[in-house]
Amino acid sequence: MQVRKSLFNLTFKALVESFKVESMEKVASMLLRDYDLHKRTGYPGSISVPKRDAARQIIKDIEKAGRFPDLVIKLIDIHTNGYMGRNYTIHYLKNILNDIKEQGLIFDPEYKIFMEDPAARRTRNWGALRQGEEYIITFLRLDIVGNSQLVRKYPPDIIDRTYSGLRKIVQDAIDRRNGRIWNWEGDGGLVAFCFSKKNMQATLSAVNILHELFIFNQTGCELEKPLRLRIAIHSGPYEYSPNEEDLNKSETVKKAVLIENKYTQPNTVTVSNMVSIALDKLLLQQFKPIDVDIRTKYYNYSLEWEH
C-alpha cells in the first residue's frame, strides 16, 4: 500500500486527536517489537515527546516496516472494541478508509485484512497474502479428460479455440466469486479461494462451470464429442508463495489433485469433507455421498436428466 501524503496527513491527525502520547506508543508497540518512542525521536527520557512529533515518528516507522495496513486495522479494532477497557473514537477513520479505497483496497471485516477491490484490479494474492505466512485456502482443481488424445487428434487451432472457450467459462465463474487462477496448463488448472465463504464460493463456481460447459458443448465446441472435465475441491492450510514449485509441494494441493484423480468421474464435481461441512444444506443435498473410509465421506455432483 502506498502511503501518499493525503493518507499520511489523515492518519497523523487521527493519532493526534484520538490518543495521548503514551497510548500512541502502546499502539506502535503492538506492531513494532520493543518500540521506544524517545529513542526513535531523540528526545531525552526526562522530557515528554510532543504529540505531533510522536504521531509523525510512529507513522514513519510503521510505514518503513511495511506495517501501515496493520496500523489502520488496529485503529479499526480500537474504534470498534476499545482498548484495555476504555472506549476510543478514532477520528478521520472513515476518511482514511476512503483514501485507501481510492488506491484499490478495501477492508474485509470478517478476516480483518485489506484486500484489493475486485472492481479495480485482480492479482494472484488479492493484494493481501504475504509470502511465508500460512492461510486456509480452498483449492478448485480441474482437469480436462483425455487431453493427450485430444491434442493428438485435433489441429492446434481447434484445440486453442476450444481450450480458450473453457478458460473463459472458468474465468467468468470465479471472477463473480473472488477466486484466482493460480495455475493453468494445457490439461487444466488450479483455482484458489481465500475470503468470504470460500468453500461455498468454490463449490458454486464448480457447479457453474459444469453447467456452462454443457451449454458450450451444445453450441460452441468444435470437437466431435463433448469436452469433459473432472473438478475437485479441497480446503486446508497453505503457506503462501508465488512459486509454482512450492504450490506443487503443498499437501493441501496434493489432496485436491488426489480427489480429482481418484474420486471424480468425468463431468462431475467432488468436494472433500473439509469443504462439505461449510456448504449450505440445500446445496449439499444436490451432491451424492462417496464413502472414502469408515470416518470420511466426500460428496459428488453431476448433471442428470430428469425422468
Topology annotation, domain 5-103: Death Domain, Fas (1.10.533)
| pLDDT value at 244 more than 90 | no
pLDDT in tens, 174-228: 999 999 999 998 888 999 999 889 999 999 999 999 999 999 999 989 999 999 9
pLDDT band at residue 307 under the 50/70/90 scheme: very low
What b-and-e string marks burial along 3-27, b requiring 16 or more CB atoms within 10 Å of the CB?
Answer: beeebbebbbbbbbebbebebbbeb
pTM equals 0.83
Please report, rounded to a whole number, the percentage of residues in the chain having pLDDT higher than 70.
99
Show Cβ contacts of residue 305 under 8 Å, excluding neighbours closer than 6 positions.
none
Residue 200, all three cell numbers? 461455498
In DSSP terms, 59 is beta-bridged to: none
Determine the Cα–Cα distance for residues 103 and 156; give it in Å rounded to an integer: 42
For 202, list phi and psi in degrees, rounded to 5.
-65, -45
Determine the Cα–Cα distance for residues 252 and 194; give it in Å rounded to an integer: 13
For 5, list phi and psi in degrees, rounded to 5.
-55, -45
| pLDDT value at 268 more than 50 | yes
In CATH terms, 134-302 corresponds, of 3.30.70.1230, 3.40.50.970, 3.40.50.80, 3.10.20.30, to 3.30.70.1230
Q: Which of 47-51, 85-89, 189-193, 259-263 has the lowest mean pLDDT?
A: 85-89
Residue 140, all three cell numbers? 478448485
302: nearest Cα among 181, 219, 214: 214
189: nearest Cα among 253, 135, 250, 242: 253
Determine the Cα–Cα distance for residues 73 and 31; give it in Å rounded to an integer: 11
Q: By the 8 A CB rule, do 115 and 127 touch?
A: yes
| pLDDT attached to residue 306 | 55
Query: Most confidently modeled of 110-114, 247-251, 301-305?
Result: 247-251
Determine the Cα–Cα distance for residues 68 and 11; give it in Å rounded to an integer: 10
DSSP string covering 189-247? EEEEE-SSSHHHHHHHHHHHHHHHHHHHHHHT--SSS---EEEEEEEEEEE--S-HHHH
Determine the Cα–Cα distance for residues 295 and 46; give it in Å rounded to an integer: 66
Domain positions in the chain: 5-103, 134-302
| pLDDT value at 279 more than 70 | yes
Residue 240, all three cell numbers? 503462501
Q: Tell me the average pLDDT of the chain.
A: 93
Going from the C-alpha of 222 to that of each of 155, 184, 189, the distances in angstroms are 11, 21, 21
| C-alpha 169, offset from chain centre | 20
Residue type for position 4: R
